[in-house]
Amino acid sequence: MFGMPMCCRTTIPCRSRCLAADVAALTATSPPANKLATARRRYPCRAGSDVPWCHGTLSTVTLAPVYPVRSARLLLRPLSLADIDALLAYRSLPEVCRYVPFAPMGPADIVARLREPWARRAIAQEGDALVLGAELADDGRLIGDVMLRWTSAEHGCGEIGYVFNPRYGGRGFAAEAAHAVLHLAFDDLRLHRVIARVDARNTASARLAARIGMRQEAHLVENEWFKGEWTDELDFALLGREWRSTTFSGCEACSAVKER
């Protein structure tokens, strides 16, 4: 997983070779190399690639994690129909949905999302979003979910999101899960930059973004008409080169990266 040559990190030169079937095969067959292992297939960059940060001869074109992705106290893994009740327990709450772009969900909303788009197990191309459930390693309870979206192949950009059951709030679980997603984004998908967009009133989310090392870059004033009112947005970001000097308390994968 670590110590690989500098790679081209985009699907652009290699997309024709990267089929969904490859991702499925990788997911099914690759054993975990370590606690944040990701099965990846590397392809040669096409000669004359116009991708400015393609420096080498290898291309990492998918993110197909070997599940569960582990952190100190959590397991991240795809959601399933067995999670309906646990998801409803927090995604149906108005206070959880106040600053996120969806309304409180009912069972039908959850089932529809579980069928698509939450059924995705890998990121294969720009625009794909991976939503993973976060369960307690101790007892398997689902306490929240995290999202990674590959927003731009050309610019190597992604976005993260997180929604947690307030019953398990204030214990650092959400930050731990979001940090694990940054490992996927930077170490495995090899993104250049990851952002988080936060409603300026959502102080818990802003604190979380800062806690995982993201830098606040902007405070946009009344940039969105959101749920019936003009709202401000805070934009947080982290670059790959900043990520490499970021550590997170208790994270074994961070130690592994440092030992490279």
Ligand X SMILES: CC(C)(COP(=O)(O)OP(=O)(O)OC[C@H]1O[C@@H](n2cnc3c(N)ncnc32)[C@H](O)[C@@H]1OP(=O)(O)O)[C@@H](O)C(=O)NCCC(=O)NCCS
Q: Please pick, from the candidates 32, 104, 169, 240, the single residue that binds ligand X as defined by CB under 6 A.
A: 169
Q: Please pick, from the candidates 86, 163, 181, 257, the single residue that binds ligand X as defined by CB under 6 A.
A: 163
The verdict on 172 binding ligand X (CB under 6 A) reads yes
Q: Please pick, from the candidates 115, 141, 171, 215, the single residue that binds ligand X as defined by CB under 6 A.
A: 171
The verdict on 195 binding ligand X (CB under 6 A) reads no
The verdict on 208 binding ligand X (CB under 6 A) reads yes
Minimum distance, C-beta of residue 195 to ligand X, in the bound complex (Å): 11
The verdict on 244 binding ligand X (CB under 6 A) reads no
Minimum distance, C-beta of residue 164 to ligand X, in the bound complex (Å): 4
The verdict on 198 binding ligand X (CB under 6 A) reads yes
Q: Please pick, from the candidates 96, 142, 148, 253, the single residue that binds ligand X as defined by CB under 6 A.
A: 96
Whether the Cβ atoms of residue 36 and residue 251 lie closer than 8 Å to each other:
no
**Residues in contact with ligand X by the rule CB under 6 A:** 96, 99-100, 161-164, 169-175, 198, 202, 204-205, 207-208
